[in-house]
């Protein structure tokens, strides 16, 4: 078995010290075909060229 870094007594000290933040309500992300469509428009339709480089 491998070596352990430090003692196991300190395991989980960071997680227990971190304040709990509740999940926020977010709007539903499109899935499947609709997501592909969104990505396509974001990447290839709304693109403006600036000095030979793509500007999003």
pLDDT in tens, 1-56: 667 777 888 888 999 999 999 999 999 999 999 999 999 998 888 876 666 666 65
Domain count across the chain = 1
| Residue 24 placed within a domain | no
Q: Considering the entire predicted model, what is its pTM?
A: 0.47
- Look at residue 30 in the predicted model and tell me its pLDDT: 96
- What's the domain range around 52? 30-56
**Which residues are CB-neighbours of 55 under 8 A, at least 6 positions away?**
47, 48, 49
| Residue 37 placed within a domain | yes
| Residue 7 placed within a domain | no
């Amino acid at each position: 078995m491998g070596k352990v870094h430090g003692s196991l007594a300190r395991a989980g000290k960071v997680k227990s010290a971190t304040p709990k933040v509740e999940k926020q309500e977010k709007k539903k992300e499109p899935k499947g075909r609709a997501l592909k469509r969104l990505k396509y428009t974001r990447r290839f339709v709304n693109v403006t060229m600036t000095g030979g480089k793509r500007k999003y």
